[in-house]
């Protein structure tokens, strides 16, 4: 089982459910080190002062908030520490809301809540009640001197918890440069054709079908170079031009989607 990164309890009315917080994501990003091409020597970074380019020791570095160009207010570590939220081992549920009402744009990092040995029954009770009601719990808790706003929801047999982005940090669509509906004429026929294309491309949600193809290519490249293979640089692909006839493009896309489904069905029948 993944390692616990926080232990505490869920506060659910007068009920406390001892839990462990474990990560729900195992990042598989390919990491690189910066090296000098000529001898593979590692590149290191020094902290230097901009005014004289002299290296600065860690004990000389303080936090500064820029209030005007090159004007800073120095904030001392103790001053920040005095503002830290009160340490707590409780995930305090504030509200229950309809899970469908929470737009995914608010989700940040995801974890699982796992019951401690004495909490199996109340954990299961909360899980079942939330599943039956379709509700999610909005809560707060403190981890590593930072308070998090989270949503707790049933996921299969577990309770998943996701940290949330605060509403004032979300860029609302009204701030974007979006098409003016009044100035564009989208015909009913075009909408119908787009709906048919969507329907032809619709399938069940199977997350295992979608893999990180870029990471796979990077790992294959690393393996090939480690084996001494010569790597040919592929030619640049020209970007497609602007779609002139939207209806014709939709019709061609719909036919291509139907052909692809037909090929996939035939391959599945052959392998059966």
pLDDT tops 80 at residue 81: yes
Dist CA 148 CA 167 (whole Å)? 13
Residues 189 and 139 in one domain: no
Mean pLDDT of 65-80: 92
Confidence of residue 272 (pLDDT cuts 50, 70, 90): low
What is the average pLDDT across 204-225? 88
Both 145 and 250 in one domain: the answer is no
Contacts of 181 (CB under 8 A, 6+ apart): none
Q: Is 25 helix (H, G, I), strand (E, B) or coil?
A: coil
Distance CA 189, CA 220 (A): 45
Are 159 and 269 members of one domain? no
Has residue 101 been placed in a domain? Answer: yes
Mean predicted confidence (pLDDT) in 122-148? 93
Question: Quick check: 240 pLDDT over 60?
Answer: no
Mark whether 111 and 165 lie in a shared domain. Answer: yes
Same domain? 125 vs 189: no
- Give residue 144's pLDDT band: very low, low, confident or very high (50, 70, 90): confident
Residue 176 has pLDDT above 70, yes or no: yes
CATH number, residue 136: 2.40.290.10
Given a cut of 90, whether residue 259 has pLDDT beyond it is no
Q: Which residues contact 144 (CB under 8 A, 6 or more apart)?
A: none
- Of the three residues 146, 169, 192, the one that is the final residue of a domain is 169
Q: Are residues 144 and 265 in the same domain?
A: no
Is 45 in a helix, a strand, or coil? coil
Answer yes or no: are the C-beta atoms of 189 and 247 closer than 8 Å. Answer: yes
Q: What is the pLDDT of residues 85-97, one digit of tens each?
A: 888 899 999 999 9
Does one domain contain both 142 and 196? no
Query: What pLDDT does residue 264 have?
Result: 67
Q: Which residues contact 235 (CB under 8 A, 6 or more apart)?
A: none
Report yes or no on 41 lying in a domain.
Answer: no
Q: What percent of the chain has pLDDT over 70?
A: 93
pLDDT value of position 266:
65
Strand partners, 22: 4, 112
Q: CA-to-CA distance for 138 and 163, rounded, in angstroms?
A: 10
190 and 164: one domain?
no
Reduced to 3 states (helix: H, G, I; strand: E, B; else coil), residue 111 is strand
Under the banding of pLDDT at 50, 70 and 90, the label for residue 12 is: confident
Residue 256 lies in a domain: yes
Task: Give the total number of structural domains in the chain.
Answer: 2
Residue 237 confidence (pLDDT) above 70? no
Residue where a domain terminates, one of 169, 191, 212: 169
- Shared domain for 163 and 186, answered yes or no, is no
Q: Are residues 248 and 153 part of one domain?
A: no
Tokens 């593979």 map to which residue? 40
Please check whether residues 17 and 139 belong to one and the same domain: yes
pLDDT at 55: 93
Q: Give the least confident one: 23-37, 100-114, 138-152, 232-246.
A: 232-246
- Of 44, 45, 3, 37, nearest in space to 20 by CA: 3
Examine the domain organization and report whether 110 and 187 are in the same domain: no
134, 127 Cβ separation under 8 angstroms = no
Domain carrying residue 188: 179-202+243-272
* Predicted local distance difference test score (pLDDT) of residue 65: 94
pLDDT on residue 225: 85
Residue 271 scores a pLDDT above 70: no
Mean pLDDT of 191-216: 88
Query: Higher pLDDT residue, 62 or 238?
Result: 62
């Amino acid at each position: 089982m993944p390692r616990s990164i926080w232990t505490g309890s869920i506060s659910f009315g007068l009920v406390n459910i001892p839990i462990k917080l474990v990560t729900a994501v195992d990042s598989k990003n390919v990491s690189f080190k910066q090296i000098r091409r000529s001898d593979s020597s590692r590149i290191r970074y020094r902290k230097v002062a901009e005014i004289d380019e002299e290296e600065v020791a860690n004990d000389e570095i303080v936090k500064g908030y820029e209030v005007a160009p090159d004007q800073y207010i120095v904030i001392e570590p103790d001053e920040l520490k005095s503002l830290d939220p009160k340490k707590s081992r409780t995930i305090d549920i504030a509200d229950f809301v309809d899970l469908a009402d929470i737009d995914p744009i608010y989700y940040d990092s995801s974890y699982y809540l796992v019951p401690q040995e004495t909490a199996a029954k109340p954990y299961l009770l909360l899980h079942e009640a939330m599943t039956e009601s379709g509700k999610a719990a909005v809560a707060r808790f403190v981890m590593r001197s930072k308070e998090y706003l989270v949503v707790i929801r049933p996921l299969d047999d577990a309770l998943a918890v996701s940290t949330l982005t605060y509403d004032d940090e979300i860029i609302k669509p009204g701030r974007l440069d979006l098409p003016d509906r009044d100035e564009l004429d989208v015909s009913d026929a075009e909408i119908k054709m787009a709906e048919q294309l969507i329907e032809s491309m619709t399938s069940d949600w199977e997350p295992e079908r979608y893999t990180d193809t870029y990471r796979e290519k990077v790992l294959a490249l690393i393996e090939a170079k480690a084996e001494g293979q010569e790597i040919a640089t592929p030619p640049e692909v020209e970007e497609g031009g602007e779609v002139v006839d939207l209806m014709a493009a939709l019709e061609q896309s719909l036919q291509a989607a139907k052909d692809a489904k037909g090929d996939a069905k035939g391959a599945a029948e052959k392998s059966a």
